[in-house]
Amino acid sequence: MDCRAVRPLISAYMDSDLTPAELRAMQAHVATCPDCAALLDGYRQTRSLLRALPQPLPPARLRPAVFAAATPAYRRRAFFIMLGQRGLTAGAIAVVLIAALFTASLFLRTATNSNVPPQLVAVDPPPGVSVSPGQPVRLTFNKPMDELSVKNAIVIDADPPLSQQERVQLVQTAQWDDKTNTLTIGGGYGFQPDHDYTIRIDPAKAHDRANTPLEVAPAIAFSTSNVVPANPSPTALAAGPPFTPTPVVTPTGTVAPTATEPAAIAAVSPTPPATSALPVTAPAPTVTATPKPANPPTNPPPASQEPPAPARTATPTPQPPAPTATPEPPAPTATAVLPTATTAPPTATAAPPTPTAAPQLPYPVVGSFGTLYQASPKVRDGLGLPSGTVATAPGAYLAFERGAMFWRGDTKTIYVLFYEQPGVWYAFADNWTDGMDPGGGAGPAAGQFYPKRGFGKVWRENEDVRNRLGYALAADETAGPLTIQPFDHGLLLARDAGYVYVLYSNGVFERYQDPGK
């Protein structure tokens, strides 16, 4: 058997498509023919090369785009099915068809007019179904909408009822996509498990870009399953949904993403974070208070689990001043404290940790932090190398109208995060002690509260903080541990709520959804 006759057999061998006789002949030839043996190796290499290609994931906008386009066809299909099910005669169907065509012609004439009213044309998932709490809801409109008005028009009801804080947080997840005219709500851990939700877009508030009000749209009702995705392993996370920059809401409700990187992990720009947005003229925050969570840990906060990095005191200026040797800001007029970042020079070439590459880092970056750090060159380059291991500290959290406060028990620090564009954060020393005025109480409007204890003291004594944060959205803080890891140029911060906060040393922060939550 010559080589020309064997080559097709070698190809067929790759497909397990040889008879026993062909197989024997092929193997005998290959054993003595270096050229055909090399060809077989080449075929195997081809298979390896192609199967090792990564599987590209479709962009999130594909699904709404398909369903928005499919909806008219769906309606036509449902229409004819309805006719058939009701047993209408051919004559009746013809009459209805003529009427439908007439109506359609009117609609088409209207649709060509820029004044065609905006409508909600598709919903994903379809109403009435049960969805995973991590699955977002996508509302697709027939034309570009005024983004701010739509976001302000979101009305969410749930059974069991949501707290004001949960409702606000859910609304804050809303993102508008201009390419598909789609509003996405939820995703990540946006919805609570085992709840019945009703989402409505208030037509009195929502309008298109010509100020034409939204046509009245039915409420969207759906249930969430009680299955909360388990925290996957780093490998599984890599196969799951990406970390997604979460938008933050400005005082007027304008959503401004805290990160400019697109949803695709690999599309994340390696550009370091923006330069500091700390206001030059902002008054130096005066801190004399020590925040105390509503339900403080029964055990006293442990000492820092990290070797205490040199704390830096700094006024909130665009470029933080050189670190001082003062580990704590001088009371009672402590200034904003930058995070426990070291002054090591930037190392933007930190390789992403992988299960086998972890030794390349001075400290492991694991779990959700590791996934984010590995997935986002921007985060990696912005933070630099880890300067300590991940640690858990006693903590507390309080949401505000335009931001949030975190209390970190191990270093007695209050982090104040302003949901601005870009996100800006300050840190204050925690000097509040028992016996001081706890503050608190109901605010001027329903759902508004004065923050208590340490949070309240920072809020009351710093006009800039007060004005930028607005009122608290809950009467009390939520106590719960914080997970923290320091880096050369910032820190990663998370509590068990589905978000990872990236606090860069230059005063900018970003928030990412944790797909593992």
| Binding site residues, another protein, CB under 8 A | 7-8, 11-12, 14-15, 17, 42-43, 46-59, 61-63, 65-67, 69-70, 73-74, 77-78, 81, 124-126, 129, 235, 238-239, 242, 263-267
Tokens encoding 82? 């309805």
- Torsion sign, CA atoms 365, 366, 369, 374: positive
Whole-angstrom distance, CA of residue 384 vs CA of residue 380: 6
> Residue 63 or 466: which CB sits closer to another protein?
63
Closest CB 47 distance from another protein, rounded Å = 5
> Residue 234 or 301: which CB sits closer to another protein?
234
> Residue 66 or 475: which CB sits closer to another protein?
66
> Residue 27 or 448: which CB sits closer to another protein?
27
Closest CB 233 distance from another protein, rounded Å = 12
- Torsion sign, CA atoms 107, 113, 117, 119: positive
Whole-angstrom distance, CA of residue 156 vs CA of residue 86: 36
Residue pair 467/460 in contact by the 8 Å Cβ criterion: no
> Residue 236 or 284: which CB sits closer to another protein?
236
Closest CB 45 distance from another protein, rounded Å = 8
Q: What are phi and psi of 476, to 5 degrees?
A: -130, 160
Which residues touch 350 (CB under 8 Å, ≥6 apart)?
A: 360, 361, 380, 381, 384, 385
> Residue 17 or 215: which CB sits closer to another protein?
17
CA 56 to chain centroid, in Å, comes to 20
226: three-class secondary structure by DSSP: coil
Give the pairing type, strands 120-124 and 137-141. Answer: antiparallel
DSSP 118-185: P-EEEEESPTT-EE-TTPPEEEEESS-B-HHHHHHTEEEEEESPPPHHHHHHHHHT-EEETTTTEEEE
Task: Kindly report the length of the chain.
Answer: 517
Whole-angstrom distance, CA of residue 504 vs CA of residue 318: 13
Closest CB 246 distance from another protein, rounded Å = 17
Closest CB 238 distance from another protein, rounded Å = 6
Closest CB 142 distance from another protein, rounded Å = 17
Max Cα separation, the chain? 98
> Residue 16 or 298: which CB sits closer to another protein?
16
> Residue 265 or 314: which CB sits closer to another protein?
265
Residue pair 321/345 in contact by the 8 Å Cβ criterion: no
Closest CB 134 distance from another protein, rounded Å = 14
> Residue 69 or 228: which CB sits closer to another protein?
69
